[in-house]
Amino acid sequence: MSSYKEILDCLRTSFLSGKTRSEQFRISQLEALERFLEENKNTIIEALAKDLHKSTFESEVSELSMVRTEINFAINNLRSWMKDEYVDKNLATKLDSAFVRKDPYGVALIIAPWNYPIHLTLIPLIGAISAGNCVILKPSEISANSEKVIAELLPPYLDKDCFAVVSGGVPETTQLLELKFDYIFFTGSPNVGKIIMAAAAKHLTPLTLELGGKNPCFVDKGVNLSNTANRIVWSRFFNAGQTCVAPDYILCDTETRDQLVPALRDSVEKFFGKEPQKSPDFGRIVNDKNFQRLKAMLGSGKVVVGGETDENDKYIAPTVLVDVKETDPVMQEEIFGPILPVLTVENVEKAVEFINQHERPLALYAFSPDNKVVNHVLDRTSSGGFCGNDGMMHMTLISLPFGGIGNSGMGMYHGKYSFDTFSHFRACLLRNTGLESLNTLRYPPYSERNLGLLLQAIETKRRGFCSIQ
């Protein structure tokens, strides 16, 4: 097998040849990616079932459909995205052409996670292809069956001179990060994100970090308990809780907690039956390491729903905890599993205060019958994304950017935001070769008269009048 540097050099040669820049080439690769999904659909679904016990329904909704949507949206809009954007000019450049050119970065490295191994590998790839980049793709070795599908079945569909898939674990990723890429896109934990960022800094490589965190979910008094419980249970226990935007913990007052817990229990039973382990719709923990980590969290607070485990099956029941303290293990890191702690606060102000005392999350949720309360939480907090009166549904809109802030990441993608992320916005000014007399104002020897005229030609004046009393 070629060394990673040889692969990178080959891709960079292809990029510098201009091969990836045409609209026709980009469309052809996106269409090839769509064929990969369609022709290998059953194999992909089987791999996801082996890796995560993911149901066909969840695989279709959260993996295949979202990728297809991104491909179709990119193909439908690529021509307009690629066009130069002409900008306003000052008096000094009125006769010139000023525009923003969307240039590809070059060769991008995409490092994907294990929890949505198709979706979170291919959607960044769609953005990179759309923007005209070459790519080295590194799927996660933890979801081994999905990694094998991508490594063995995807490459024949894509141009081998422009795209490559690299398998392996930490040693292989470390070797890749020693090389100079033109862009890095990483999805994973904040701790690993710091390692990726440090490696990128050695080469001053721009990057996007899609990380995670503890996503708060405030539940106000007076909510429709059944509807609220359904939406929280669905979003928390989808993919067995192994979702970066899942609600990580609930904040509510004591009275609401006592009403909400039975509703949560009812929703769990309605969705997964009295024995969720037998449900075909409930997933499993990806490996023993994560199973043991999650099992240890069950000692926090008091179990009021679920709590059962089966090590051989890597099964942890949909679980709700109460009487949880801020210092308990379950509150020290992103849970990333089917455990939902409920913490009590006096009111929405105390909830906002609690949220703002912690790292800014990837997502934040607020349930209330009063839109003023939802908007209050929105106005007074900061997070990557926000959804009122539901969980995770903002992810279904590719018209919205997806990304974190602070400890939950930097940068954004989905839809056109993916194209923009993998594009360098190049400032361009094409000037007239004549009319030199207009340029004499800026040439030495300088004079007060020329300074005044030049400032008139290049300065922007304020419109109207604004007075702050």
Q: Is the pLDDT of residue 265 over 70?
A: yes
| pLDDT, tens digit, 9 for 90 and up, residues 136-175 | 999 999 999 999 999 999 999 999 999 999 999 999 999 9
For the beta sheet containing 319-322, the strands, ordered from the edge strand earlier in sequence to the opposite edge, are 302-305, 319-322, 339-344, 249-252, 216-219, 363-367, 385-388
What's the pLDDT band for 26 if we cut at 50, 70, 90? very high
Range(s) of the domain holding residue 400: 216-407
- Boundary (domain end) residue, out of 407, 438, 453: 407
pLDDT (mean) for 371-377:
98
User: Smallest Cα–Cα separation from 343: which of 272, 253, 274, 422?
Assistant: 253
In a domain, 349, yes or no: yes
Answer yes or no: do 171 and 293 share one domain. no
Q: Are 193 and 186 in contact (CB under 8 A)?
A: yes
Q: What CATH number did the domain enclosing 49 receive?
A: 3.40.605.10
| Alpha carbons 404 and 422: distance in angstroms, whole number | 17
Answer yes or no: do 256 and 196 share one domain. no
Q: Is the pLDDT of residue 439 over 80?
A: yes
Active-site residue among 210, 217, 252, 387?
210
H helix or E strand, kind and range, residue 274 = none
Say what the pLDDT of residue 467 is: 59
In a domain, 462, yes or no: no
Answer yes or no: do 34 and 128 share one domain. yes
Answer yes or no: do 203 and 220 share one domain. no
Question: DSSP characters for 326-347?
Answer: TTSGGGSS---SSEEEEEE-SS
Q: Is the pLDDT of residue 436 over 90?
A: no
Q: Which two tokens stand for residue 270?
A: 């309605």
- Could you confirm whether 466 is annotated as catalytic? no
**What is the rounded average pLDDT for all residues in the chain?**
96
Q: Which two tokens stand for residue 112?
A: 């994907």
Say what the pLDDT of residue 152 is: 98
- Boundary (domain end) residue, out of 377, 407, 437: 407
Answer yes or no: do 201 and 85 share one domain. yes
Say what the pLDDT of residue 2 is: 65
User: How many C-beta atoms surround the C-beta of residue 224 within 10 A?
Assistant: 13
pLDDT (mean) for 254-258:
97
Q: Are 403 and 410 in contact (CB under 8 A)?
A: yes
Answer yes or no: do 157 and 85 share one domain. yes
Percentage of the chain modeled with pLDDT above 90: 92
| Alpha carbons 20 and 10: distance in angstroms, whole number | 13
| Alpha carbons 257 and 199: distance in angstroms, whole number | 45
Query: Cis before residue 445, ω within 30 degrees of 0?
Result: yes
- Could you confirm whether 217 is annotated as catalytic? no
What's the pLDDT band for 469 if we cut at 50, 70, 90? low
- 296: burial class by Cβ within 10 Å (0-12, 13-18, 19+)? exposed
Answer yes or no: do 221 and 265 share one domain. yes
In a domain, 26, yes or no: yes
Answer yes or no: do 198 and 241 share one domain. no
- Which position has the higher pLDDT, 287 or 466? 287
Residue tagged 């809009």 (tokens): 77
Q: Is the pLDDT of residue 367 over 70?
A: yes
pLDDT (mean) for 428-439:
88
Answer yes or no: do 236 and 140 share one domain. no
| pLDDT, tens digit, 9 for 90 and up, residues 229-242 | 999 999 999 999 99
pLDDT (mean) for 180-193:
97
Phi, psi of 147 (to 5 degrees): -60, -45
Say what the pLDDT of residue 53 is: 97
Answer yes or no: do 252 and 143 share one domain. no
| pLDDT, tens digit, 9 for 90 and up, residues 211-224 | 999 999 999 999 99
In a domain, 121, yes or no: yes
Answer yes or no: do 230 and 134 share one domain. no
Q: Is the pLDDT of residue 1 over 60?
A: no
| Alpha carbons 301 and 304: distance in angstroms, whole number | 10
Answer yes or no: do 283 and 398 share one domain. yes
Say what the pLDDT of residue 468 is: 63
Per the structure, the count of domains in the chain is: 2
Q: What CATH number did the domain enclosing 390 receive?
A: 3.40.309.10
Say what the pLDDT of residue 295 is: 97
Burial call 282-291: b when 16+ CB within 10 Å, e when fewer:
bbbbbeeebb
In a domain, 458, yes or no: no
Active-site residue among 244, 252, 334, 387?
244
Say what the pLDDT of residue 240 is: 98
Question: DSSP characters for 275-299?
Answer: -GGG-TT----SSHHHHHHHHHHTT
Q: Is the pLDDT of residue 100 over 60?
A: yes
| Alpha carbons 464 and 80: distance in angstroms, whole number | 34
In a domain, 467, yes or no: no
User: Smallest Cα–Cα separation from 210: which of 424, 417, 426, 423?
Assistant: 417
pLDDT (mean) for 75-88:
98
In a domain, 155, yes or no: yes
| pLDDT, tens digit, 9 for 90 and up, residues 324-343 | 999 999 999 999 999 999 99
User: Smallest Cα–Cα separation from 224: which of 266, 263, 269?
Assistant: 263
User: Smallest Cα–Cα separation from 426: which of 8, 21, 13?
Assistant: 21
Amino acid at 294: L
Q: List Cα–Cα distances, 179 to 11, 162, 203, in angstroms.
A: 13, 17, 8
pTM, rounded to two decimals? 0.95
In a domain, 265, yes or no: yes
- Boundary (domain end) residue, out of 372, 407, 442: 407
Task: Determine the 3-state secondary structure of 149 from DSSP.
Answer: helix
| pLDDT, tens digit, 9 for 90 and up, residues 377-410 | 999 999 999 999 999 999 999 999 999 999 999 9
